[in-house]
């Protein structure tokens, strides 16, 4: 039964947005269930404002009714941060209708877009104007710019261009009071006090609702080449990264590592992708070299690097994509690991980072701990080695009931992995965020003073606790 106060709120929301954009019935699973289908919540209503003013009006109405709000973009988040809880009392605020590219300023090298713009559409708008918007991730066909900012998403080009944070020059944000902060300046220099933009980025909808952003653009490289290399060990992959930095400099725009079992899953579930070189090597590396001169120049430098790496022994075999379609296929293999893992069954994800120099020992020691703990456990280890970020995922032993596996092992596996991360001075969330999945682990792994400051900031900006409560900090 809905409480009378919620009924008043629903009437107010319908007046503000129109019947069609306040959803309370029908199949709402696209909004209420997380991407991995591990959690399902229930919203009081799903609201779909079409403008910044409407977002502000919705926030004001919810604040008056003391009803909390969960902002949502493409709902591709992996830490259960963008769906409602199961009380049926929260408003799910979808930004999807706010999807306009507002402006491209070629001389300033900036693009301003609304938060609900799908990342791929932002990339395409940049490309149509002759520029590169470098943020790139497997979910780019459905995740949104607002979600990318709210999670400070990483992806596969961070090694050269940085996280979403590094790409953002300005934000428009609706505060917890329903005021609008207009800071879409596009300035590269502005030291007029606290940088609230950086407070909002990565705050996962707990401090404000991002409605638009001004992002950096880059010149389109003259050539982008992709190579796939077999490496004898993680330590050799790290050595190859060092060689790539040394010989390609800023040309290194992608450096991904994939363990054999991760590739075995892609081969099993998507055989049409024809994964190269995976059978005889424990790890493969996907490298991308971008060049501002020409394809011939890029190829010559890339082949020189790979020859050195073969001589040195840090690469045992390698292929360089001959054309765009081969390069796309290699990237498609890499981006398909998450889907192949999902096909294989429920699993435990760890999105961790440690200093790049510690990665070989982290993997060796943590692999040993887990294989000792759970007989037959299957480790799906892959990720953004160039950023020190691994998706160190854990799949149930073959034939095991996955629900039972999660019930019996998830907490212990998380503790083992996170303690290992702590020993190596790493982070338990490198790029996916905290959401509700890691909110209770955070106090064990985050500096206590930093966490207390985060709680005070949350309280100062959102004293009613209306914005995405229970996520990031309690």
Residue 53 per-residue DSSP state? H
Applying CB under 6 A, among 76, 253, 281, 429 the residue interacting with ligand FAD is 76
Q: Which two tokens stand for residue 312?
A: 């040195």
Measured CA distances, 435 to 69, 77, 263, 388, 431 (Å): 14, 9, 28, 21, 12
Nearest alpha-carbon partner for 355 in 381, 388, 383, 386: 388
**Interface mask (CB under 6 A) for ligand FAD, residues 300-339, using x and -?**
--------------------------------------x-
What is the C-alpha separation between 387 and 122, in angstroms, rounded? 24
What is the C-alpha separation between 257 and 285, in angstroms, rounded? 4
Q: Roughly what angle, to the nearest 10 degrees, separates helices 4-17 and 52-65?
A: 170
Residue 349 Cβ, how far from ligand 2HG at the closest point, in Å? 5
Residues 366-405 that bind ligand 2HG (CB under 6 A): 383, 391, 393
What is the C-alpha separation between 461 and 75, in angstroms, rounded? 24
Dump strand ranges (E) for 175-249.
Answer: 180-183, 209-216, 218-219, 223-231
Residue 205 per-residue DSSP state? T
Measured CA distances, 258 to 306, 367, 389, 468, 473 (Å): 18, 15, 12, 34, 32
For the CA atoms of 39, 44, 45, 46, the dihedral, rounded to the nearest 10 degrees, stands at: -20
Residue 184 Cβ, how far from ligand FAD at the closest point, in Å? 14
What is the C-alpha separation between 118 and 97, in angstroms, rounded? 10
* Closer of 148 and 353 to ligand FAD (Cβ): 148
Residue 313 Cβ, how far from ligand FAD at the closest point, in Å? 30
| Part of the chain binding ligand FAD (CB under 6 A), chosen from 124-132, 145-153, 257-265, 315-323 | 145-153
Residues 305-344 that bind ligand 2HG (CB under 6 A): 338
Identify what 349 binds: ligand 2HG, ligand FAD, none; CB under 5 to 8 Å per kind: ligand 2HG
Residue 161 Cβ, how far from ligand 2HG at the closest point, in Å? 15
Residue 447 per-residue DSSP state? -
Task: List, in sequence order, every residue forming a beta bridge with 45; answer none if it has no partner.
Answer: 91
Identify what 148 binds: ligand FAD, ligand 2HG, none; CB under 5 to 8 Å per kind: ligand FAD
The sign of the torsion formed by the CA atoms of 177, 180, 185, 190 equals: negative
| Part of the chain binding ligand FAD (CB under 6 A), chosen from 141-149, 241-249, 315-323, 454-462 | 141-149
Residue 301 Cβ, how far from ligand FAD at the closest point, in Å? 26
Category of 155 on φ-ψ map: left (φ > 0), alpha (ψ -120 to 50) or beta: left
Nearest alpha-carbon partner for 81 in 177, 6, 152: 152
The sign of the torsion formed by the CA atoms of 90, 96, 100, 103 equals: positive
Residues 250-289 that bind ligand 2HG (CB under 6 A): none
Asked if 144 is part of the footprint of ligand 2HG (rule: CB under 6 A), the reply reads no
Q: Strand 180-183 to strand 252-259: parallel, antiparallel, or no bridges (unpaired)?
A: unpaired
Applying CB under 6 A, among 49, 134, 155, 426 the residue interacting with ligand FAD is 155
| Part of the chain binding ligand FAD (CB under 6 A), chosen from 140-148, 233-241, 321-329, 412-420 | 140-148
Residue 293 Cβ, how far from ligand 2HG at the closest point, in Å? 30
Applying CB under 6 A, among 52, 90, 144, 353 the residue interacting with ligand FAD is 144
The sign of the torsion formed by the CA atoms of 69, 72, 75, 77 equals: negative
| Part of the chain binding ligand FAD (CB under 6 A), chosen from 67-75, 100-108, 178-186, 225-233 | 67-75
CB 170 within 8 A of CB 186: yes
Phi, psi angle pair for 24, to nearest 5°: -130, -5
Applying CB under 6 A, among 88, 138, 232, 470 the residue interacting with ligand 2HG is 138
Identify what 72 binds: ligand 2HG, ligand FAD, none; CB under 5 to 8 Å per kind: ligand FAD
Residues 430-449 that bind ligand FAD (CB under 6 A): 431-432, 435
What is the C-alpha separation between 31 and 148, in angstroms, rounded? 17
Identify what 391 binds: ligand 2HG, ligand FAD, none; CB under 5 to 8 Å per kind: ligand 2HG
Identify what 176 binds: ligand FAD, ligand 2HG, none; CB under 5 to 8 Å per kind: none
Identify what 147 binds: ligand FAD, ligand 2HG, none; CB under 5 to 8 Å per kind: ligand FAD
Identify what 82 binds: ligand FAD, ligand 2HG, none; CB under 5 to 8 Å per kind: ligand FAD
Residue 294 Cβ, how far from ligand FAD at the closest point, in Å? 29
Identify what 363 binds: ligand 2HG, ligand FAD, none; CB under 5 to 8 Å per kind: none
Asked if 148 is part of the footprint of ligand FAD (rule: CB under 6 A), the reply reads yes
Interface residues toward ligand FAD, by CB under 6 A: 35, 70-78, 81-82, 95, 115, 137-139, 143-144, 146-148, 150-151, 153-155, 204-205, 209-210, 338, 431-432, 435, 468, 471
Interface residues toward ligand 2HG, by CB under 6 A: 138, 338, 349, 383, 391, 393
């Amino acid at each position: 039964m809905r409480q009378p106060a919620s009924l008043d709120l629903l009437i107010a929301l319908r007046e503000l947005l129109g019947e069609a954009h306040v959803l309370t019935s029908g199949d709402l699973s696209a909004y209420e269930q997380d991407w991995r289908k591990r959690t399902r919540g229930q919203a009081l209503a799903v609201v779909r404002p079409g403008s910044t003013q409407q977002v502000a009006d919705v926030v004001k109405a919810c604040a008056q009714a003391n009803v909390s709000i969960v902002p949502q973009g493409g709902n591709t988040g992996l830490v259960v941060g963008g769906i409602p809880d199961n009380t049926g009392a929260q408003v799910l605020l979808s930004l999807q209708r706010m999807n306009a590219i507002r402006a491209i300023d070629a001389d300033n090298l900036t693009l301003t877009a609304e938060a609900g713009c799908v990342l791929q559409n932002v990339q395409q708008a940049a490309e149509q104007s002759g520029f590169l918007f470098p943020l790139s991730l497997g979910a780019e066909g459905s995740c949104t710019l607002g979600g990318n900012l709210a999670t400070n998403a990483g992806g596969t080009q961070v090694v050269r261009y940085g996280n979403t944070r590094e790409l953002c020059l300005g934000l428009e944000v609706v505060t917890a009071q329903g005021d609008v902060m207009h800071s879409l300046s596009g300035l590269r220099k502005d030291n007029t006090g606290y940088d609230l933009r950086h407070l909002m980025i990565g705050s996962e909808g707990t401090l404000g609702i991002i409605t638009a952003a001004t992002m950096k653009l880059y010149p389109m490289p003259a050539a982008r080449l992709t190579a796939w290399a077999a490496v004898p060990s993680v330590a050799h992959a790290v050595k190859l990264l060092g060689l790539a930095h040394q010989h390609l400099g800023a040309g290194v725009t992608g450096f991904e590592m994939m363990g054999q079992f991760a590739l075995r899953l892609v081969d099993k579930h998507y055989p049409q992708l024809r994964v190269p070189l995976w059978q005889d090597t424990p790890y493969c590396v996907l490298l991308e070299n971008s060049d501002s001169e020409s394809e011939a120049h890029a190829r010559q430098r890339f082949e020189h690097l790979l020859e050195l790496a073969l001589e040195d022994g840090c690469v045992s075999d390698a292929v360089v994509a001959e054309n765009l379609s081969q390069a796309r296929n290699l990237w498609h293999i890499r981006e398909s690991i998450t889907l192949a893992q999902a096909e294989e069954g429920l699993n435990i994800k760890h999105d961790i980072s440690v200093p790049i120099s510690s990665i070989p020992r982290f993997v060796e020691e943590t692999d040993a701990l887990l294989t000792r703990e759970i007989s037959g456990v299957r480790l799906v280890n892959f990720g953004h080695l160039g950023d020190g970020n691994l998706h160190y995922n854990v799949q149930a032993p073959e034939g095991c009931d996955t629900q039972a596996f999660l019930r019996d092992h998830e907490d212990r596996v998380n503790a083992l992995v996170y303690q290992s991360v702590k020993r190596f001075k790493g982070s338990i969330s490198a790029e996916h965020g905290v959401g509700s999945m890691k909110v209770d682990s955070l106090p064990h792994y985050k500096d206590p003073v930093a966490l207390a400051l985060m709680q005070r900031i949350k309280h100062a900006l959102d004293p009613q606790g209306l914005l995405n409560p229970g996520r990031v900090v309690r």
